[in-house]
């Protein structure tokens, strides 16, 4: 019997080797789970454990929210929603320093409230905002950076695919994590808009002229464009908060509302309907196999006892909670350079959750922390998806886009620091609805 430390190192080396060798992430997780089981005494059969664990975790009521939220985003992406949001929001932001650049932040926030994907949010808003801002002579760097940064609001403001995956992996309540995302979402929006204001005040020469003035009634008429998306947001949030819907039900209502918007826009045909169905089926299957592999690896890890041993080792270090969070942030930033957000979450939760519980953090709070670090990964090279999206949409090279996003990356670090120092930013909303 090897020592736990040696087993952990063997498993870690194996995982790194498989992932780097181009083995599919889900398969690598299964392989590590299987090898982990070989170290466990007591003749626990590795195969039957695999089959029953994964069946038990996959035939799950709460997981059914996942395909529906993905589907909702697929449908909305194919509508004219982004155009309407730009025209509806623009007239109201003329007076702020930075002017229409705030549309990036607000539109992403709005779209994030109906979409669970950060790449989809970024792409949907950039599709219209990027050319419009360029035409009016806004600074490219801040415009690109704010789009990359604000796009990540898609996964911070509920609904969020990332949150569903975390909740399933960490065995936490999806609804509570959704509720916990609201205030941090506003916080990040405020940080972004604040940065744009400060930057504009410091660089008045880079400001394009004001838009022609509009009468109040004209502004209102333009804003009527926002009615569909507002109705959808209200539908989703009311079903979520009113408590008569679970997360899965809320997702189903969201799909219904999105189909209604697509129909209203005239972009709903049998062909586009099936395209959205098959697109979301594939994304769901991809995520589900990763979750399956991860659930097997977690089970195997639990048998070996590594997570608990690691948790008590970290506990014995007597780290302050702040030092622990700082260390974890660095770890996730490093992981984020190679892995996508979902793999990062499922890979680490099994090991990290016992550790943070022992340190006295709440799993719901940690969910928001994880979402924020995944957002950082989204806007940092080399595999940040938002950077890819903007790179091709703007035709700039990857360095320009990455450098433009850097300030917004640091604003996310600030957000992590703020929620760590003031945990009630995260916890007050879920605690209001679900007192501990």
Whole-angstrom distance, CA of residue 432 vs CA of residue 436: 9
Q: Show the CA angle centred on residue 191, arms to residues 187 and 197, nearest 5°.
A: 140
- Within 13 Å, how many C-alpha atoms sit on residue 313's CB side? 10
As given in the structure block, the two tokens for residue 265 are 């826009």
Whole-angstrom distance, CA of residue 401 vs CA of residue 431: 39
Minimum CB distance to another protein, residue 317 (Å): 30
Q: With respect to another protein, which residue has the nearer C-beta, 9 or 285?
A: 285
Q: Which of 146, 143, 163 is nearest to 155 (CA)?
A: 163
Q: With respect to another protein, which residue has the nearer C-beta, 117 or 300?
A: 117
Q: With respect to another protein, which residue has the nearer C-beta, 276 or 420?
A: 276
Minimum CB distance to another protein, residue 60 (Å): 6
Minimum CB distance to another protein, residue 427 (Å): 24
Minimum CB distance to another protein, residue 412 (Å): 15
Minimum CB distance to another protein, residue 15 (Å): 11
Q: Which of 290, 176, 317 is nearest to 243 (CA)?
A: 176
Minimum CB distance to another protein, residue 74 (Å): 7
Residues listed for the chain: 436
CB neighbour class for 186 (10 Å; exposed up to 12, middle 13-18, buried from 19): middle
Q: With respect to another protein, which residue has the nearer C-beta, 121 or 193?
A: 121
Q: With respect to another protein, which residue has the nearer C-beta, 93 or 260?
A: 260
As given in the structure block, the two tokens for residue 70 are 């993905």
DSSP string across 286-333: HHHHHHHHHHHHHHHHHHHTHHHHHHHHHHHTT--HHHHHHHHHHHHH
Q: With respect to another protein, which residue has the nearer C-beta, 29 or 314?
A: 29
């Amino acid at each position: 019997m090897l020592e736990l430390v040696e087993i952990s190192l063997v498993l870690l080396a194996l995982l790194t080797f498989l992932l780097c060798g181009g083995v599919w992430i889900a398969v690598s997780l299964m392989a590590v789970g299987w090898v982990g089981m070989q170290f466990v005494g007591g003749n626990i059969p590795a195969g039957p454990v695999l089959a029953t664990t994964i069946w038990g975790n996959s035939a799950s009521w709460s997981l059914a929210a996942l395909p529906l939220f993905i589907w909702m985003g697929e449908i909305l992406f194919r509508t004219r929603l982004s155009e309407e949001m730009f025209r509806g929001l623009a007239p109201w932001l003329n007076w702020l320093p930075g002017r229409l650049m705030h549309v990036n932040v607000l539109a992403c926030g709005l779209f994030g409230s109906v979409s669970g994907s950060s790449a989809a949010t970024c792409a949907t808003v950039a599709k219209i905002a990027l050319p419009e801002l360029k035409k009016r002579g806004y600074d490219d760097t801040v415009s690109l950076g704010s789009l990359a940064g604000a796009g990540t609001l898609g996964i911070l403001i509920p609904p969020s695919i990332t949150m569903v995956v975390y909740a399933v992996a960490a065995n936490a309540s999806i609804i509570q994590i959704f509720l916990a995302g609201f205030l941090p979402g506003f916080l990040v929006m405020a940080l972004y808009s604040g940065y744009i204001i400060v930057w504009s005040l410091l660089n008045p020469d880079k400001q394009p002229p004001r838009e022609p003035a509009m009468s109040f009634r004209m502004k209102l008429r333009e804003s009527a464009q926002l009615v569909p998306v507002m109705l959808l947001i209200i539908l989703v949030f009311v079903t979520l908060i009113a408590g008569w819907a679970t997360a899965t039900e809320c997702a189903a209502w969201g799909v219904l509302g999105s189909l209604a918007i697509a129909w209203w826009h005239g972009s709903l045909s049998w062909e586009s309907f099936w395209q959205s169905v098959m697109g979301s089926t594939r994304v769901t299957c991809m995520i589900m196999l990763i979750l399956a592999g991860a659930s097997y690896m977690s089970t195997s890890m639990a048998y070996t006892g590594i997570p608990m041993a690691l948790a008590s080792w970290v506990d014995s270090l007597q780290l302050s909670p702040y030092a622990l969070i700082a260390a974890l942030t660095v770890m996730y930033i490093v992981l984020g350079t190679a892995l996508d957000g979902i793999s990062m979450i499922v890979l680490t939760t099994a090991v990290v959750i016992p550790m943070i519980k022992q340190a006295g953090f709440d799993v719901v709070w940690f969910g928001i922390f994880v979402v924020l670090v995944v957002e950082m990964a989204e806007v940092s090279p080399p595999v940040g998806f938002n950077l890819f999206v903007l790179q091709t949409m703007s035709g700039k090279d990857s360095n320009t886009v990455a450098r433009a996003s850097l300030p917004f990356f640091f604003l996310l670090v600030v957000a992590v620091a703020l929620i760590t120092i003031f945990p009630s930013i995260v916890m007050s909303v879920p605690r209001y609805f679900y007192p501990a």
